[in-house]
Amino acid sequence: MALSEPSVTDTMGGGFANPPRDAAIAFRAALDVMARPGVIREITGGHPPLPLSPAAGSLLLVLCDPETRVYLSPSCDTDAVRAWLRFHTGAPLVAADKADFAIGPWDQLCPDLARMRQGVQDYPDRSVTLIVEMDHLAAEGVRLTGPGIKAEAFLNLPETTAFVANARRFPLGFDTFFTSDSQIAALPRSTSIEGAS
Amino acid sequence: MSYNFAYLDEQTKRMIRRAILKGVAIPGYQVPFASREMPMPYGWGTGGVQVSAACLTPDDVFKVIDQGADDTTNAVSIRRFFEKTAGVAVTEKTTEATVIQTRHRIPETPLSADQILVYQVPIPEPLRFLEPRETETRKMHGLEEYGLMHVKLYEDIARHGEIATAYAYPVKVEDRYVMDPSPIPKFDNPKLESPALQLFGAGREQRIYALPPYTKVFSLDFEDYPFDPSKAAHPCALCGAEDSYLDEVIVDDAGGRMFVCSDTDYCASRRETGEAA
């Protein structure tokens, strides 16, 4: 699925039309997918500049503010995206190893993954949340089991090695949202992954 | 455009929402959050209220129970608080609710996958009465050092002949974190494995934690003293239910007493549908 055309691309547009309401509804989508790995939901309301997807933009509007450090992968690190994010969230833009949220396609985030925050023994929550932009999301591919999953679930992960290693480090590690167009799915560090089916 | 849906400002809700997501990703781990002053005293569910405020949408149907009852002061005041500040629909029926805030009970009616249960938690740290220092309990969780908790349960057996802990009975989540399920009766512990998402908020102690749906929750015990989710050995005096948790109510000055369902919705709907014996 191709990225849809943002309806507004100028810096000041593209935010939530009704912030308290839109953020509440978008958060429930994000909460639902993080609580049920493999489930794919719609998340809407944000219209960020390309190349960010509406789903990634909506998630950033829900979660980011001056207290969260954001890393933009090279392809997302455009003047338009920087200006939009700064205007709507006020989030400081930082290097990958300092980030609370890191956004980009998997092949650009992956090389920096080892440097990113994975939490510490006493505070495993002090870790990065990845927002991985995907071409499409589908309930197929690797088999997922663990908290939030009744028997099994499937999701088209961009690769398995890094996510298998991440689950082994539990409770340390990173958590991932996958976004495509207006869709969102998630993979917390607690999910066990078994090879592609 | 309306500002301050569900009382809290947007930045506070973002902070709470981030904590909730990390809690969900690390089941049973207590995530610190910057708990706010709420227009009610600590101990009245300020943690649960903040979690509910961060989760509610205008389309939700909200239910609040206090020890199972919809009609007690704490439940009524929190329900009215969100009716006023979020304009959400409210209900006393467990099956109609999408978000249920609870103090010290899990509803008898099984929850479904499209419901969220929000617990009010007084002391989130299960090891707190064994080790008062937060730096130490953090380390104990980090190292999975839970021997002290088993010693406590063992001392129960040595002193009382059984595990005397009757509420806030400690559980191990997904074979990793030991968690306080809030002061629910141990009768409710088996219900912690649920299709619903469960979120725990401790306002004064500034912690949020979570159990995603279908998370493995094991009540700590010993091989020769297995976990026993006991309750009063009576049927409900009003609806006759033998499978629900009961409150003992003193009814006169002569020591008269009766046992009734603590879950008022469960009891009332059984009487309405004629299931009562």
What is the per-residue pLDDT for B3? Answer: 62
Could you report the per-residue pLDDT of A29-80, keeping only the tens digit for each? Answer: 999 999 999 999 999 999 999 999 999 999 999 999 999 999 999 999 999 9
Annotation says B55 is catalytic? no
Question: A21 contacts in B (CB within 8 Å)?
Answer: 2, 5, 57-58
Q: Are A26 and A45 in contact (CB under 8 A)?
A: yes
Please identify every stretch of chain B with a pLDDT value under 70, giving residue numbers as ranges: 1-3, 275-277
What is the per-residue pLDDT for A13? Answer: 86
Distance CA A154, CA A141 (A): 6
Is the pLDDT reported for residue A8 higher than 80?
Answer: no
Distance CA B162, CA B73 (A): 35
What number is the ipTM of this complex? Answer: 0.93
Residues 6+ positions from B37 with CB-CB distance below 8 Å? none
What is the per-residue pLDDT for B232? Answer: 82
Given pLDDT bands bounded at 50, 70 and 90, which one contains residue A12? confident
What is the per-residue pLDDT for B277? Answer: 53
Could you report the per-residue pLDDT of A110-144, keeping only the tens digit for each? Answer: 999 999 999 999 999 999 999 999 999 999 999 99
Distance CA B119, CA A88 (A): 33
What is the per-residue pLDDT for A2? Answer: 46
CB-count burial class (<10 Å; 0-12, 13-18, 19+) for B58: middle
For chain B, what percent of residues have pLDDT higher than 70? 98
User: Across the interface, do A149 and B214 touch by the CB < 8 Å criterion?
Assistant: yes
For residue A175, report the phi and psi dihedrals to the nearest 5 degrees.
-120, 150
Is the pLDDT reported for residue A6 higher than 60?
Answer: no
Question: B143 contacts in A (CB within 8 Å)?
Answer: 121
For chain A, what percent of residues have pLDDT higher than 90? 89
Could you report the per-residue pLDDT of B229-262, keeping only the tens digit for each? Answer: 988 889 999 999 999 999 999 999 998 999 999 9
Given pLDDT bands bounded at 50, 70 and 90, which one contains residue A178? very high
User: Across the interface, do B17 and A27 touch by the CB < 8 Å criterion?
Assistant: yes
Given pLDDT bands bounded at 50, 70 and 90, which one contains residue A9? low
Is the pLDDT reported for residue A4 higher than 90?
Answer: no
Question: B11 contacts in A (CB within 8 Å)?
Answer: 65, 67
